[in-house]
Amino acid sequence: MSKRGSRVVFLLGAGRSGTTLLYKILSTHRGVAYLSNYQKRYPNWPFLAYLQYILNQFPEYKRQTWFKEQGNAYFNERREWLHSIVPTPSEAESVYASCGIPLIPTDDYRVHPQMAECLQDKFECIRQTSRSEVLLTKRTANNRRIPLLKQVFPDAKYIHLIRDGRGVAYSSLRVAWWNDHILYWAGKTPLQMVAAGFNPLELAARNWVEEMQTLEQGTALIQSNQLLEVRYDELLRNPCKQLQRILDFMGVATQKDAAFWNVIESLYLAPKQEAWTRSWTEVELKTVHDVQGDTLRRWGFETNNRS
C-alpha cells in the first residue's frame, strides 16, 4: 500500500445505522482527522483543519459539544451557537463537490486525474495540518461511490457498520430530515411517495434493503485486508474491545491518547432494547418482515421473534 492512500479510511453504512456515533467516537482520538463543519462551509480551505489540532489539546470540549449528556451523538435540533463554532465531524459533501466528484456516479464512471488529485491533496492537507495519523470520513453517499473511491484511493481502508434493518427503519421515521430527502433508488422524497399512496413504514424498510444491496455490491470490490465489518450491537455490547479492533485496523496508536478512553467511558455505551420491539404491532412487524426478511436473514439477523 502507498503510505498516503492507506492513511484514508471511509466509514460506510446504511443511514441511521450508527455511523454518526461511530464517526464522532473515532474522531475523538487525537490521531484521527476528519472532515469538519469548517471543511463543509469552506471546502477549498483545508488548512482550517489546524483548528482540529487545537481542539485536540482540550478533549473535554469534544465530549461537551459533540455528544449529548447521555452520549447520544445525533442532534435533531439546532445546536447552541457556542457549540456550533467548535470543529465537529461532518459529512461535508461540499469537499467532494469542490473536486467535481458526482453525488451518484454512473456504473462506468471514470474519475479525471485532476479530480482525483484534488481530493487526494485536500484529504492529505487536512490530515497533515491536524497532525493526525489517518483521515476518517463518513458520507452516506459514499455507499454508492465505492468504485469511484477505489479509483482515487486504491489503498484506502473501509469500515462497514451494520445494524438490524428494523432498528434502522424505526429510527429513520423519527428524524427531521427523512420526509424531505430524496431516496436515491426512487428519485423522490418519502413525502412525495406517501402522497402517491405508498406506506411510510414500507418505504423506510425498503430503503435499508436498497442500501444494503448497494453496499454488498460495493464492498465486494474491496480486498479483504482493506475492509472491516463492525456490528452495531457488538459495538454497544463491548465498546472498548470493538473500538480497539477498529483503531488497530485503521493503524492508529491508541496508547498515544489516554484521554480518548476517558471520553468513551463517559458515553455510557451499552446495549438497549430496540424501540421497534415494543412499539410495533404484529401487523407493522409483518409489514417490515415482508420487505426486509430475506435481507435480514442474509446478514445474520433473526426474524422469528422480536428480540
- pLDDT over 70 (residue 11): yes
Report, as an integer, the average pLDDT of 34-54: 98
The pTM of this model reads: 0.94
The residue with greater pLDDT, 4 or 104, is: 104
The predicted-structure confidence for 114-162, as pLDDT tens digits, reads as follows 999 999 999 999 999 999 999 999 999 999 999 999 999 999 999 999 9
pLDDT at res. 106: 94
Confidence of residue 4 (pLDDT cuts 50, 70, 90): low
In this model, does residue 41 exceed pLDDT 50?
yes
Give me the residue spans of the domains in the chain: 5-298
Architecture in CATH for domain 5-298: 3-Layer(aba) Sandwich (3.40)
The mean per-residue pLDDT over the stretch 79-100 comes to: 88
The predicted structure's pLDDT at residue 1: 42
Decide: 226 and 158 in contact? Cβ < 8 Å: yes
Q: Report pLDDT for 12.
A: 99
* Burial status of residue 284 (CB atoms within 10 A of its CB: 0-12, 13-18, 19 or more): middle
DSSP category for residue 181: S
Predicted local distance difference test score (pLDDT) of residue 306? 75
User: What pLDDT was estimated at residue 35?
Assistant: 99
**Separation CA 198–CA 63 (nearest Å):** 41
Given a cut of 80, is residue 178 above it in pLDDT?
yes
Q: What distance separates the 2 farthest-apart alpha carbons in the chain?
A: 55
**Residue 190 pLDDT greater than 80, yes or no:** yes
pLDDT band at 241 (very low <50, low <70, confident <90, very high): very high
Alpha carbon distance 205, 147 (integer Å) = 26
Please tell me the least confidently modeled range out of 122-136, 250-264, 281-295. 250-264
C-alpha cell at position 207: 430503503
Per cent of the chain over pLDDT 90 is 88
pLDDT digits (tens, 9 = 90+) for 57-77: 999 999 999 998 775 655 545
Which residue in 269, 302, 270 sits closest to 166, CA to CA? 302
pLDDT score of 172 more than 90: yes
